[in-house]
Amino acid sequence: MSDEILYQRFLSHGPAVRIRRTSEAGASPVTAVLEVDRRAGTPREKEGGTAPPLMHCEGSSEAEVLALLEPSARDDRIIAQLMREKQLR
């Protein structure tokens, strides 16, 4: 797992839910996004790019941004709702 990926889990149908640090390592404040990579585990994943963010936040540390985003990242209903809101479904 890349050092910018702070959290990752896979949905039953394949996509990866990730919390990814968007600020430089060691930078303060820490910024991060919650995203769903629908290409995870496919040959297209290696093409690069990033998934559209579903949520973003800023905190004083990686632990703080994880505490803010992880509850949503763990909840399939919230992920589905965010994807509908962002018209990604």
Pair of tokens at residue 49: 């790019």
Residue 48 confidence (pLDDT) above 70: no
Residue 43 has pLDDT above 60, yes or no: no
Q: In angstroms, rounded to a whole number, what is the distance separating the alpha carbons of residues 82 and 57?
A: 15
Is the pLDDT confidence value at 47 over 70? no
Please give the residue that has the higher pLDDT: either 57 or 42: 57
Domain of residue 74 covers 5-85
Mean pLDDT, range 13-38, rounded to an integer? 93
pLDDT per residue as tens digits for the range 76-87: 999 999 999 988
Return the minimum-mean-pLDDT range out of 31-35, 49-53, 68-72.
49-53
Q: Which residues of 13-24 are buried (b: 16+ CB within 10 A; e: fewer)?
A: eebbbbbbbbbe
Count of domains for the chain: 1
User: Is it the case that residue 73 has pLDDT exceeding 80?
Assistant: yes
Q: Report pTM.
A: 0.85
- Reference 7, options 88, 54, 71; nearest CA is 71
Cα–Cα separations (whole angstroms), residue 79 to 35, 37, 60, 68: 9, 12, 25, 14
